[in-house]
Amino acid sequence: MKQLTTGLGLLLMAATGTAQDIQFPARFEELAKKASEVVNITLDSSMLAAAARSAEQKPEKATKAELLRKLRGIYIRSYKFDQPGQYSREDVEAIRTQLQPPDWVPVVSVRARKANKEEADIYVKKSGDQIVGLTIVAAEPKELTVVHILGPIQLNELGNLGGALKIPQLHFGPRPPEQPEPPSAEN
């Protein structure tokens, strides 16, 4: 059954011919109905070019503008839920089955064995020595996020996108020290 589903997904992707490269399953629309917070971002190359023009107006954002100009697309789906169990393993696998070798290569896989069962995976798509796509799948008990970036990108450039548009902040090297949470006003 899994092979049939994967085959149908690949056939659908070939038939649609979109620049998006992966398809967000129709079941994600159902997740949006269950979620308490939904982020749905679809930026194609023309929207990224407009964002680059806007960013280049500020000298401190020149690096970000240069990166945005190179990209073909940024697609983000993020769902936060009030309770665990509002999405299934099949929802996550519907994305992961599209990220298979030889096109996509897993480069990072993180699994927390605690009761919270957090998972994160990073996949890259290469053309020769150049990375031309990157996908992050992060699953927590009450949150599911998929970030799909298309276009030539270097891993050290990801910090320029991190923290914006729900793209996780990625650190290469020593992690910065954790900041304590401010006291709640409710206390």
pTM of the model: 0.74
82 burial class (0-12, 13-18, 19+ CB within 10 angstroms)? exposed
Q: How far apart are CA 109 and CA 158, in angstroms?
A: 17
Q: Which residue type sits at 92? A: V
Whether the CA torsion 79, 80, 83, 89 is positive or negative: it is positive
DSSP 187: -
Q: What is the pLDDT of residue 185?
A: 53
| Residues contacting 117, CB < 8 A, separation 6+ | 111, 141
For the segment 130-153, what is each residue's pLDDT rounded down to a tens digit? 999 999 999 999 999 999 999 998
Q: What is the pLDDT of residue 62?
A: 82
Point out the residues of the chain with pLDDT beneath 70: 1-20, 115-116, 160-187
Q: What is the pLDDT of residue 132?
A: 95
